Structure 1
Amino acid sequence: MPATQPSASPTQQADGLVIAVDGPAASGKGTLARRLAAHYGLPYLDTGLLYRMVARTMLDAGKALDDAQAATASAAGFDDAAIDESRLRGREIGEAASVVAAIPAVRRALIDRQRRFAAAGEGAVLDGRDIGTVICPEATVKLFVTATPEVRAARRHKELAGRGEAATLDGILADIRRRDARDSGRGDAPLKAAEDAVQLDTSALGVEEAFQAALAIVEDRRRG
């Protein structure tokens, strides 16, 4: 399973704490989820990697991304140990993952993997687009992380440039808006905030500011 395990000396050990972090692409949810997992000494799962793995196997096999039968077979059959994150990053694979994620049978095939991860220990942090609504509806804390499309595009442009990938800011912004529409408009498990989620807009926040805001939300929910 593509997860990050806690360090030997976490800042604070959690007991039965499940944190669901949802939000659109480049909102900062992954960075926040990793920081929260490290802080509380919890395993972390980037659920988007599961969909990227399905997309990767489809592309490698020369299959059409909207081939529901082939995509579902891939989702049910890949080995967690075979996941190579270095092949699952980048603009192309992110767009491809959004396409296969819109297939209801693919989502159903991956639900059990995610739920088993959340229930395996004394807690967990998962990030994705339907964690608080579908995967872990009983999560202790639910965060919905947002940012404006323009801010998210600038972040993704900087990330891609850092990896040496050529992309224009306008092109990335168009990708983000197209992906938002696809993720929010799909009939099965659309991207949306759970009713009891706390929304965190990171548009004007730096990494540390966003983390401190998220941490305050988690602690407030735990006390409540």
Structure 2
Amino acid sequence: MNKITIAIDGFSSTGKSTLAKELAKKLEYVYVDTGAMYRAVTLHAMQNGLIENGDIDRESLLKELDGIDMKFVFNQELGFAEMFLNGENVEKDIRTLGVSKNVSQVAEIKEVRSRLVSLQKEMGKDKGIVMDGRDIGTVVFPEAELKIFMTASPEKRAVRRYKELLDRGEDVKYEDILENVQKRDYIDSHRETSPLKKAEGAVEFDNSDMGLVQQFERMYEHSLRVIAKHQA
């Protein structure tokens, strides 16, 4: 059976990664969380003193960029791949609010995007992949057979993120989360290089008032229809 490329874009905390993981698992496709790659670069910068109070030492970061070792390592128990940075599992570290506050600024750096997009294109060259991020359908795989653009209200997304961080034991405030969501929306949508926008031909999917099971079932059925169409 011929496999396709599934590109999922959208705003932060819309559940892109959750949906992408489940689709990949059900379809027996490879899953790639491109957001984890940008978060890993951000964490590296934070660990090495290249970000101070939101200001990025851009020149130093770019000098180190090619030497940053990022790889996805499949976790059999979890059923998906985790991010390893310079040989260490940082899957939990890259999901903190501290990284979230800085990742959009790092991701808007042209050279960073160019480097990671190149890696992402290589990962998906054989199709049979579900990749989520901000520019997958517009830049990485504009030829993807199925493109999905996910959205939800900032308030609903902030609540989801707030609960997620509380469950991880972080001491956070809802107001800070909402502010971060709104700030990231603006930066992601207004950056000069690869701004977040709905790709041509993408299916827009607002899950503001939809549960995980319902949204997965709807997108899985749609995926099957698109796959069947490309078998004809």
Q: TM-score, normalised by structure 1?
A: 0.89
Tell me if structure 2 keeps the 8 A contact 1:130–1:189. Answer: yes
User: 2:130 & 2:63 partners in 1: Cα distance?
Assistant: 27
Q: Which has the higher strand share?
A: 2
* More deviation, 188-197/213-222: 213-222
Counterpart of 1:116 in structure 2 is: 122
Task: Name the structure, 1 or 2, with higher relative contact order (CA <8 Å, separation 6+).
Answer: 2
Counterpart of 1:86 in structure 2 is: 92
Give the letter aligned to residue 168 of structure 2: R
Q: 1:220, CA displacement in angstroms?
A: 3.1
User: 1:122 & 1:132 partners in 2: Cα distance?
Assistant: 14
* More deviation, 181-190/213-222: 213-222
Counterpart of 2:202 in structure 1 is: 197
Residues 44/73 of structure 1: CA separation in 2 closer, same or farther (3 Å cut) = farther
Tell me if structure 2 keeps the 8 A contact 1:71–1:106. Answer: no
Whether 2:42 is the aligned partner of 1:52: answer no
Whether 2:109 is the aligned partner of 1:103: answer yes
Counterpart of 2:12 in structure 1 is: 25
Tell me if structure 2 keeps the 8 A contact 1:20–1:142. Answer: yes
User: 1:70 & 1:218 partners in 2: Cα distance?
Assistant: 43
Q: TM-score, normalised by structure 2?
A: 0.86
User: 1:22 & 1:35 partners in 2: Cα distance?
Assistant: 15
SS of 1:51's equivalent in the other structure is helix
* More deviation, 60-69/109-118: 60-69
Tell me if structure 2 keeps the 8 A contact 1:148–1:203. Answer: yes
Post-superposition, which runs of at least 4 consecutive aligned residues in structure 1 deviate over 6 A?
A: none
1:128-181 deviations in whole A, cap 9, x for unaligned? Answer: 000000011111100011111010000001001101111111111111001100
Identity of aligned residues (%): 38
- The 5 A counterparts of 1:1-224 are 15-64=2-51, 65-81=55-71, 82-83=84-85, 84=89, 85-119=91-125, 121-224=126-229
Q: 1:55, CA displacement in angstroms?
A: 0.8
Q: What is the alpha-carbon root mean square deviation over aligned residues?
A: 1.5
SS of 2:92's equivalent in the other structure is helix
Q: 1:74, CA displacement in angstroms?
A: 3.6
Q: Alignment length, in residue pairs?
A: 210
| Structure 1 segments unaligned to the other structure (5+ residues) | 1-13
Counterpart of 1:4 in structure 2 is: none
* More deviation, 62-71/21-30: 62-71
Give the letter aligned to residue 117 of structure 1: M
1:67-93 deviations in whole A, cap 9, x for unaligned? Answer: 222233343221124422132111111
Tell me if structure 2 keeps the 8 A contact 1:71–1:100. Answer: no
Tell me if structure 2 keeps the 8 A contact 1:21–1:132. Answer: yes
SS of 1:77's equivalent in the other structure is coil
Residues 21/75 of structure 1: CA separation in 2 closer, same or farther (3 Å cut) = farther
Q: 1:122, CA displacement in angstroms?
A: 4.4
